[in-house]
Chains A and B, each alone.
Chain A
Amino acid sequence: MKLRVNRRTFLGSMVSAAASLFVGQTAENASAHDFTGYESSKGVLVDLSRCVGCRSCEAACNKEQGLPEPEIGFDDLSIFKQTGPDGKRRPDDKAYTVVNAYDPPLLDHPLFRKIQCNHCLEPACLTACFVNAYTKTPEGAVVYNADVCVGCRTCMIACPFSIPAFRYSSAFHPRIMKCIFCYDSRLSKNLPPACVEACPMEALTFGDRKTLLRIARNRLREHPGRYVQHIYGEFEAGGTSWLYLSPVPFADAGFDMHVPNQPIINYVKDFLAVVPMVLTIWPGLFAGFYLLSRRSGKAAIQPPQPEDSSDENTGR
């Protein structure tokens, strides 16, 4: 009998310790529910109507981040004809940003769009990472720590914009490669990222995200005919630090319009709430089943009857 109590106490303390861990966790999530970004978060406003597809931003990024020399030079515009395995080029382990050309039906000239990490306010990659390799800095950058990354690539699954890329080619130093908003070399010193500085057309504007939203709304108000009335990134995926204005419907410029308007973590919270319930209810429930299926104090009366075999998962 003594042993039984010991075991029960042990199990109980195990479960409550584990439960408190997860209960604390969900409480934290609940408070994070209203998180709308850091007050001082920086951002970049991309105005597609101003981009001429010169790829200066790609070149500047490559140099700033010390990425490998591309096969096709940055001044070779034939790259816009090139199609990747999924139709268009995407940021990968050799390029943190790419510019693609689109032919929207409403325009008689191609439209260019720069793609890079949008630096979500509540990043999916960060919330999906089980070793905490991602950090959202107060300046707005989503940075990555290769020293703790295990290489599970859940961040790539989670990112609604499919931005993080994996260095598959390395056996000993694989890692995630993604735009870090030039955090180390520039953003932390309150400098704009290299791509913004390199843009000759002022298609990219760096500043406080709040200011950028005001600027974007101003442009929409002053030139209603020049833009579609939407700021991509204001609400997408719960809001992103990078914002876009477009002269054509965003879908025609290759934007994924299926990205939900709430942070990706919201889709996972239902399950996270189940966890502490299972941890706390199951032990009592199944210990109860155990007691119910046995007559205490009496010898078992009936031998098992195979004919009457009700199944185990209905709980009878």
Chain B
Amino acid sequence: MKILVDEQLGLPIIRNEKAPQTAWKLREKLLLGLSPSDYRRALINNPVNWFLALVLLVGLPLLAQRYLFGLQAITHGSQDYPWGIILGFGLFGMVPLSASGFLLSTAVEIFDRKDFQPIERLALLNGLLGYFFAVVFLLVDLGMPWRLAYPMFVSFGPAAVLFLVAWHVATYLSVQIAEMLPSFSEWADTPAIKKFIKKIALGLTIAGIILSTLHQGALGALFCYAPAKIHPLWISPEFQWIHFFCSSIFAGLCMVIVVSSLIRRFMTWRCDRNFLDNLDEITIGLARGASYGLITYFIIKIVAIAHDQEWLYLVSGWGLYYLLEIVLAVLLPLFLFSYGVRHRIMGFLRWGSVIAVLGIVWNRLNTVLITYNWQHQQEIPHWKEVWVVITLLSIYFITYRFILYRLPVVFTWKQE
């Protein structure tokens, strides 16, 4: 694992070194200061890239197959399970993990918590990429992806929950791009952009909170359309939106802990002292926030069972499965966080975050796929569908790494 991104790179580029009048240099901006042949060698020497290449080698033809011959070519094309693992993982799983952007920008910009500043950009990037790739997953799953913009420009169904999701994701994606522009402007040496974004930062942050509240909730409310199809323990029409919103809070925070831990371990050369030295304290702060989210989530899940009078379901087979989810995905990370924060055991916090991140994806898959049509036969995804999910995840990873290597996200750009 150590080898993940352990490339023998020359000098990390951290400032605009060129003289003001000279042209923008490809080598410095894109190739990390390496010559093309050195850069190629570094790529080939990294076994992670070989793994990614293998995934793409099978996955890209599968994607071509999907666009040439229809969804049937890579999925079971089930009429009973209209949403499969592509949406279940890619949209419903990725979006809560991308709540990080609005959470950290709220902490820093609204509540003036400057101690979280070293991680703010990473949280924003994580949010932006998560949303962007949720849309990519959607483009694979939509029957007519070329009509993606129809709800915005062609035909309106404003009373539908998905209409809110579409509009909010689209506007929030723009907000997140704007929030990431400062790092881009430092890298591209266009300070005017950064100055402008700084002026509207507060507005962007508040817009981010509104849009996130609504569409994290809306993703949950989508399932209120199927009150009789999903197992009652996983659907609670009155509370579904707040369950989804509340769980996105700890999911987003935990995702930042996971990503920052990976970066510190495998991309140390790219981090500056400001990031590395503060990371432990930040992790403790994030884990503390996540544990508040987890305990709240746990309680409102119980409230929903009490409200819908579903206690008896708990002693069925599905009930045990539900309890397993609650214990493994909510209570276990909650315990690890509480104990880890008190005794400053960073391993507990990091592994607790991994569990919570997987747990939230598990919860979303349970809602979309596993307990959907619980009284009927279960759908087991086609291997090609699973491979397509892994392919898109690999592209997500490559994009993420590409940006982290170059833009000042986990390091500070030196001002001339």
Question: Which residues of A are in contact with B by a Cβ distance under 8 Å?
Answer: 3, 7, 10-11, 21-22, 25, 28-29, 85-87, 90, 92-93, 124, 127-133, 148-154, 156-158, 160, 162, 165-171, 174-175, 256, 258-260, 264-265, 267-268, 270-272, 274-275, 278-279, 282-283, 286-287, 289-290, 293-294, 304-306, 309-315
Residues of A within 8 A of B227 (CB): 260, 264, 267
Q: Does B25 contact A (CB under 8 A)?
A: no
Q: Does B310 contact A (CB under 8 A)?
A: no
- Our pick among A29, A165, A283, A312 for the contact of B206 (Cβ within 8 Å) is A283
B80 near A275: Cβ-Cβ < 8 Å? no
Given the contacts A283-B210, A304-B115, A153 and B240 also touching, CB distance less than 8 Å: no
Closest 3 CB pairs of A and B: A151-B143, A311-B289, A168-B77
Residues of B within 8 A of A278 (CB): 210, 213-214
Give A160 to B166 CA distance when docked, in angstroms.
23
- Our pick among B67, B150, B285 for the contact of A148 (Cβ within 8 Å) is B150
B217 near A271: Cβ-Cβ < 8 Å? yes
A312 near B111: Cβ-Cβ < 8 Å? yes
Residues of A within 8 A of B218 (CB): 271
A312 near B150: Cβ-Cβ < 8 Å? no
B155 near A128: Cβ-Cβ < 8 Å? no
- Our pick among B159, B278, B292 for the contact of A311 (Cβ within 8 Å) is B292
B222 near A150: Cβ-Cβ < 8 Å? no
B114 near A267: Cβ-Cβ < 8 Å? no
Residues of B within 8 A of A153 (CB): 82-83, 143
Q: Does B53 contact A (CB under 8 A)?
A: no
A128 (CB) vs chain B CBs: closest residue: B225
A160 (CB) vs chain B CBs: closest residue: B228
Residues of B within 8 A of A86 (CB): 80, 373, 376-377
B110 near A271: Cβ-Cβ < 8 Å? no
Give A160 to B223 CA distance when docked, in angstroms.
12
Given the contacts A175-B143, A267-B227, A272 and B110 also touching, CB distance less than 8 Å: no
Q: Does B144 contact A (CB under 8 A)?
A: yes
A166 near B143: Cβ-Cβ < 8 Å? yes
Q: Does B79 contact A (CB under 8 A)?
A: yes
B79 near A275: Cβ-Cβ < 8 Å? no
Stretch with Cβ within 8 A of A (4 or more), from B42-50, B196-204, B316-324? B196-204
Q: Does B27 contact A (CB under 8 A)?
A: no
- Our pick among B79, B164, B202, B221 for the contact of A162 (Cβ within 8 Å) is B79
* Complex A-B: 11 CB contacts under 8 Å: A131-B147, A131-B150, A148-B150, A151-B143, A157-B225, A158-B225, A162-B229, A270-B224, A271-B241, A312-B289, A313-B249
| Chain B 186-207 near chain A by CB (<8 Å), digits 1 or 0 | 0000000000000110110111
B221 near A271: Cβ-Cβ < 8 Å? yes
Q: Does B34 contact A (CB under 8 A)?
A: no
Q: Does B381 contact A (CB under 8 A)?
A: no
Question: Which residues of B are in contact with A by a Cβ distance under 8 Å?
Answer: 66-73, 75, 77-80, 82-83, 103-104, 106-107, 109-116, 142-145, 147-148, 150-151, 154-166, 199-200, 202-203, 205-207, 209-210, 213-214, 217-218, 220-229, 237-238, 240-241, 249, 253, 278, 281, 284-286, 288-290, 292-293, 373, 375-377
A282 near B161: Cβ-Cβ < 8 Å? no
Residues of A within 8 A of B217 (CB): 271, 274
Number of A-B contacts (CB under 8 A): 235
B71 near A168: Cβ-Cβ < 8 Å? yes
B225 near A268: Cβ-Cβ < 8 Å? yes
Give A41 to B385 CA distance when docked, in angstroms.
43
Residues of A within 8 A of B253 (CB): 313
Interface centre among B145, B203, B217 (most CB of A within 10 A): B203
A171 near B281: Cβ-Cβ < 8 Å? no
Give A309 to B3 CA distance when docked, in angstroms.
34
B151 near A130: Cβ-Cβ < 8 Å? yes
A305 (CB) vs chain B CBs: closest residue: B115
Residues of A within 8 A of B202 (CB): 287, 290
Q: Is the interface of B mostly helix, strand, loop or mixed?
A: helix
Give A90 to B107 CA distance when docked, in angstroms.
51
Given the contacts A133-B155, A256-B228, A312 and B113 also touching, CB distance less than 8 Å: yes
Interface centre among A149, A152, A174, A306 (most CB of B within 10 A): A152
Given the contacts A130-B166, A174-B71, A271-B240, A150 and B200 also touching, CB distance less than 8 Å: no
A301 to chain B, nearest CB (A): 12
- Our pick among B110, B154, B160 for the contact of A154 (Cβ within 8 Å) is B160
B225 near A124: Cβ-Cβ < 8 Å? yes
A312 near B103: Cβ-Cβ < 8 Å? yes
B148 near A310: Cβ-Cβ < 8 Å? no
Residues of A within 8 A of B70 (CB): 167-171, 174
B225 near A152: Cβ-Cβ < 8 Å? no
Given the contacts A158-B226, A174-B144, A309-B288, A85 and B78 also touching, CB distance less than 8 Å: yes
Given the contacts A259-B228, A260-B228, A312-B111, A152 and B142 also touching, CB distance less than 8 Å: yes
A293 near B285: Cβ-Cβ < 8 Å? no
A306 near B159: Cβ-Cβ < 8 Å? no
- Our pick among A7, A132, A265, A294 for the contact of B203 (Cβ within 8 Å) is A7
A159 to chain B, nearest CB (A): 9
Give A130 to B147 CA distance when docked, in angstroms.
12
Contacts beyond the supplied A3-B199, A157-B83, A312-B104: 18 A-B pairs with Cβ under 8 Å: A7-B203, A22-B158, A86-B80, A90-B79, A129-B160, A130-B166, A131-B147, A132-B155, A150-B144, A151-B143, A153-B83, A167-B70, A267-B224, A267-B225, A279-B214, A282-B210, A286-B206, A312-B111
Residues of B within 8 A of A259 (CB): 228
Give A21 to B202 CA distance when docked, in angstroms.
24
A270 near B160: Cβ-Cβ < 8 Å? no
Residues of B within 8 A of A286 (CB): 106, 110, 205-206, 209
Interface centre among B112, B157, B158 (most CB of A within 10 A): B157
Residues of B within 8 A of A25 (CB): 158-159
B82 near A156: Cβ-Cβ < 8 Å? yes
- Our pick among B143, B164, B210, B220 for the contact of A152 (Cβ within 8 Å) is B143
A7 to chain B, nearest CB (A): 6
